[in-house]
Each structure stands twice: as structure tokens, then as C-alpha cells.
Amino acid sequence: MSMPFTKATIGEFFEEQARKDPNRDFIVYPDRNLRFSYSEFNDRVDDLANGLISIGITKGDHVGIWARNVPDWLTFLFATARIGAVLVTVNTAYKSHELAYVMKQSDMKAIAIVDRFRDVDYVETIYELVPELKTCKRGNLNSKGYPKLESVIFIGQEKHRGMYNTAEMLLLGKHSESEELDSLKGTLDCKDVINMQYTSGTTGFPKGVMLTHENILNNGYYIGERQKFTEDDRLCLPVPLFHCFGIVLGVLATLTHGGTLVMIELFDPLLVLAAVQKEKCTALYGVPTMFIAEFSHPMFKMFDMSSLRTGIMAGSPCPIEAMKKVIDEMNCKDITIAYGLTEASPVFTQTSTNDPIERRVSTVGTSLEHIDVKIVDSETGEIVGPNEQGEICCRGYNVMKGYYKMPEMTNRAIDKDGWLHSGDLATVDEDGYYRITGRIKDMIIRGGENIYPREIEEFLYTIEGIKDAQVIGIPDEKYGEIVGAFVVLKEGSKLTPEDIRDFSITKIARYKVPKHIFIVDEYPLTASGKVQKFKLREMAVELMEEN
């Protein structure tokens, strides 16, 4: 039987777990040799919550976090939820232009940052956007560009002019009265918004998705149920926390089952393999490109994967051959596939550990408990029959409150009957298993023929010597669009674009055969590991112009 809905807030739920099992590991950072039990972490969260209150943060305030998966990322997640503040998660790959937009659009009152990510110096970026930080008294920021912003917190020990750091915040909290925290807790409701995530903005500016305690805590629980999580599970989490994959599928699925999080600060296949072996992880998450990097690593066979049992592959369609390798060579016999979108908290269909392998490699499972799912004709809105393609929609406790300050966009996404429209194309079979066949806007229309990139990618993946393939539409005067493919070859493969085309012509309809094939070493990825197809389109156009 599935658990009835919890009406608890995230703070209440965590406190209950800490009471029940105080000494169990909650968070482990194997490369830092750092571990927090449920009880130790609960105390740290209380200290930070009190620290935030003492600098003027209260229920309903928006607090940004722009950071890698550092240990205190999770302290901020739980501390803001505990006082009813809204944590605004900022993509680590953002640069100053995108950060400026999110800080302003979200009405941030405070932002917590680390030192840097890859080529971006976060401290310098903040000073560039908010020069007043260097002269204003801490906590009394008066910024022309960001009138709502009052405080900047540096996650770490270093001191930066105009900023608090986490050590000070925790100390402030330890020495402050907790009456205000207790009274705030009493005012919280599970339907309060406590998390805001910005969708990547493939359609114009990013939109702030407002999610509640009820949305993400319950979704995390049912995601864990599909993997048969218990308190003995240890999840290796190498995906970024700023995304639902990290927070909901990872942190909250683990919390709701009393398990342990084994954190990876920044994805590296070797660190993941070492963490699984050292901490005897039972579950592993990632997007397909992460799993491929792990089992393709030259040192892969040196690591013991025998503790692994389950996990989730999500974020983009998984090549069937890659899935088989994860099951056979990485010992993830019970790996699951989850599907959803940020606006749906995010998961609304998932395979389960006892689904046959065929289902797990070819579908995204069945609808999660307490969520209605339907497939409709995108023109008429009518429900389509089994195995007929249409837009996949969902309705239930998991649907977002809306986009922040964007009522029109909200009404476009959620119809008057409460159905969230995904923009994805799918089919469902007679047994209720869903298959995602493409995005409405991903579809390539070549001279009137509808072509679904996923189908061609799956085909290309079967060609000996191809490690990965991404298919895109390239603008064309004659046909409107033609098919292009970017291919990563296996080590030692001598395949040429001509070889791939010649083989494809013998196997698939000619109009589906990629007209242009580009062999590359890697793809442009988002910070969460998804392939950026729009960048591939731009690259294709440039490469064709050069030739």
C-alpha cells in the first residue's frame, strides 16, 4: 500500500526522522571524509535557520542559492524550508546576464554563493552586479539595481567585503533565541511555496516554477517507493542540486525513506565509481551521458559495483544499449527510468524495480500514485487511443502553484481543469506504460514529413562504433528542415560520416537518413548534463557555412 499523503512540512518531516533515527548517516561526502548524522544535521539546520532569522529573513522571503553541490547547499535547503522562506535555486552554469535576470525577477532578498564554477568567478560577478556591496553595511544593502536585495552570504570560511559567511551565520544562529523560529514553524502550511526553480528558458526568458512542501515531499516519497527504498539504502548523487533531479528525486526520496545521501560535489566518473565502492552505495542516479562516462571509463573494471541495486536514469531519453550495460555491468539490476518536468515537481511516470527489462528500456513506466495522466491530440484536446501519439498531460498534488509573476504563462501551461500540459509527445499502451516520442517543438518537419529525433538516435546507437548520437533539425530552403546528426565515436572507431550514411540508407526510410553527419568528441551540455540541442543546431549551421 502506498503511504497516504503526508501533510507535513519538510521541516516537520526532517525533525521526525531525526527523532526516529538520530545516529544514522544522512549526508556523506566521501572525498572530504565528511559525514553528518540525521541528528547532527538537524542541529546545523536549526542554527542556520536562526542565523537567517537574525539577518532579517522570514516566512515568504526569497533566498537564492548559486553553488556547486557543497555540503551547506543542503543546510540552506532545509533551513529556508524550516522558516517558510522560498529557496530560489540558480543554475551553476549561469553567467552575469542570466543571474541578473533571476535575481531581479525572483525578488531575491538574500543570495548565498560559492567562490566559482568552471570559468565563472561568482564573487566577482556579484560585485559587478551589486557594486554597493563594497560600501554598504552588511544586511543593510541599498542596491539601485536590486532594491529587494539586502544580504549576500558566502558559503565558506573566507571573508568578502559586504558579505556574511556561513561560519558567521551558524554562530549567529547558535547564540540567538529560538522563540521566533518556533513561532514561525507554527504558521507554516504544506501548501506554502518553499522552492522556486527556473526552467531553462528554451521559450524566451526563464520562468520561476513555484513548488510547495506538499508538491516535492510527496513526489520524493513515491519516487523512492518505485525503487523500493528503505532506511538501508545509500544513494550516490552526482547530479546538481539546483535542479529537481537533485532535490526531489535525490534528497527528498532519500529523506522520506530515512536513507543516506552520498554526495558528489561536481560530476566526475572516477569520483562516482570510487564513492560507490567506498560507501557501498545501493543506488546511483544520473543522466545517460553520466552513466555512459562511468562504464566507458578506462578504470571502470577496477571498482567494485556489487553493492548497487537500483537508481534512476532520467533527464533525456536513454539509449537502450546504455541501459543494458548499466544493468549488466554496473549491477543496477533494478534501475528505473523516471519522466516529468519541473512544473510537475517533477516526476509523474516512472518504471518500477519489478518491471521486466523490456519495459524499463523502452518506456518511462506508469503514472505515479495519486497523479492522473492522459494523452491528448494537441490540436483538438481530445484523449487519443492506445498507442496513438499526442501530448502528455498530468493533474494532481504535484502540479506547481504556477510561474512566479507570470499569470499568463501559468494559464497557458495549466488549463482550467487543472491539467498541466507538458509540450512532450507520447503514447500509452493498453497496460498503462508510457513512451515519450519527442517534444512538440523538437519534431523535425521535412517537406511535410514528421520526423522524431528519438527514433533516429536509437537507430544510430545500434551501429557498431557509435558511442552516442544526437539528432537535430537543420534549416533548409527546399524542405524547410533536414535531418542532421552529431555523433560521438567509440575509442578506436574509424567510422566516417559517409560510412554512417551508407549504412543508414540501407536500414531506415531515406527521408529519415541524416543529410549531414558531424563527428564530435563531446556535446554542449547544461549544468545538469542535458544535451543542448539548440546549440547543436547553431553549430550545424556554422559548420555547413564553413564548407
Distance CA 486, CA 453 (A): 12
Pairing verdict, β 310-313 and 371-376: unpaired
Contacts of residue 482, defined as CB under 8 A and 6 or more positions apart, other chains included, come to 444, 446, 473, 474, 476, 515, 516
pLDDT of residue 517: 97
Can you read off the three cell numbers belonging to residue 389? Answer: 501519439
**What pTM does this model have?**
0.88
Q: Is 103 left (phi over 0), alpha (psi -120 to 50) or beta?
A: alpha
Provide mean pLDDT across the span 444-456. 81
Can you read off the three cell numbers belonging to residue 415? Answer: 488549463
Helices 10-20 and 38-54 meet at what angle, rounded to 10? 140
CATH architecture of the domain 208-439 equals 3-Layer(aba) Sandwich (3.40)
Number of neighbours of residue 430 by Cβ within 10 angstroms? 8
3-class DSSP state of 386: coil
Among residues 272, 296, 274, the alpha carbon closest in space to that of 284 is found at: 272
In tens, the pLDDT along 120-162 reads 899 999 999 999 999 998 988 999 999 999 999 999 999 999 9
Q: Is 363 left (phi over 0), alpha (psi -120 to 50) or beta?
A: beta
Can you read off the three cell numbers belonging to residue 290? Answer: 553520466
Q: Which of 109-113, 312-316, 501-505, 518-522 has the lowest mean pLDDT?
A: 312-316
| Contact status, residue 245 vs residue 530, Cβ threshold 8 Å | no
pLDDT of residue 200: 60
Domain residue limits, the chain: 38-188, 208-439, 444-546
Check pLDDT > 50 for residue 203: no
Phi, psi of 303 (to 5 degrees): -105, 150
Distance CA 136, CA 300 (A): 52
Distance CA 263, CA 247 (A): 12
For 96-125, give the DSSP string.
Answer: HHHHHHHHHHTT-SEEEE-SEETTEEHHHH
In tens, the pLDDT along 273-285 reads 999 999 999 999 9
Provide mean pLDDT across the span 22-42. 97
Can you read off the three cell numbers belonging to residue 172? Answer: 549567529
Q: Is 38-188 CATH 3.40.50.980? A: yes
Check pLDDT > 80 for residue 201: no
Check pLDDT > 80 for residue 531: yes
Provide mean pLDDT across the span 189-193. 97
Can you read off the three cell numbers belonging to residue 99? Answer: 543571474
In tens, the pLDDT along 228-270 reads 999 999 999 999 999 999 999 999 999 999 999 999 999 999 9
Distance CA 221, CA 248 (A): 9
How many angstroms separate the first and last alpha carbons of the chain?
Answer: 61
3-class DSSP state of 304: coil
Distance CA 420, CA 446 (A): 29
Reported CATH class of domain 444-546: alpha beta
pLDDT band at 204 (very low <50, low <70, confident <90, very high): low
> Which stretches of 137-287 are DSSP H helices?
166-174, 179-185, 213-226, 244, 253-255, 269-279
Check pLDDT > 50 for residue 202: no
3-class DSSP state of 187: coil
Phi, psi of 95 (to 5 degrees): -115, -175
In tens, the pLDDT along 330-375 reads 999 999 999 999 999 999 999 999 999 889 888 999 999 999 999 9
Distances (CA, A) of 151 to 54, 146, 308: 12, 11, 43
| Contact status, residue 74 vs residue 116, Cβ threshold 8 Å | no
How many residues does this entry show for the chain? 547
The conformation of residue 132, written as its DSSP 8-state character, comes to G
In tens, the pLDDT along 408-435 reads 999 999 999 999 999 999 999 999 999 9
- Identical topology for domains 38-188 and 208-439: yes
Distance CA 179, CA 164 (A): 23
| HSE value, Cβ hemisphere, 13 Å, CA-based, for 501 | 14
Distance CA 273, CA 175 (A): 41
Mean pLDDT of the chain: 93
| Contact status, residue 311 vs residue 284, Cβ threshold 8 Å | yes
The conformation of residue 512, written as its DSSP 8-state character, comes to G
| Contact status, residue 198 vs residue 71, Cβ threshold 8 Å | no
Q: Give the CA angle between residues 297, 300, 304 to the nearest 5°.
A: 155
| Contact status, residue 18 vs residue 38, Cβ threshold 8 Å | yes
Contacts of residue 79, defined as CB under 8 A and 6 or more positions apart, other chains included, come to 45, 46, 48, 49, 51, 52
SS (H, E, C) 330-359: CCCCEEEEEEECHHHCCEEEECCCCCCHHH
| Contact status, residue 54 vs residue 172, Cβ threshold 8 Å | yes
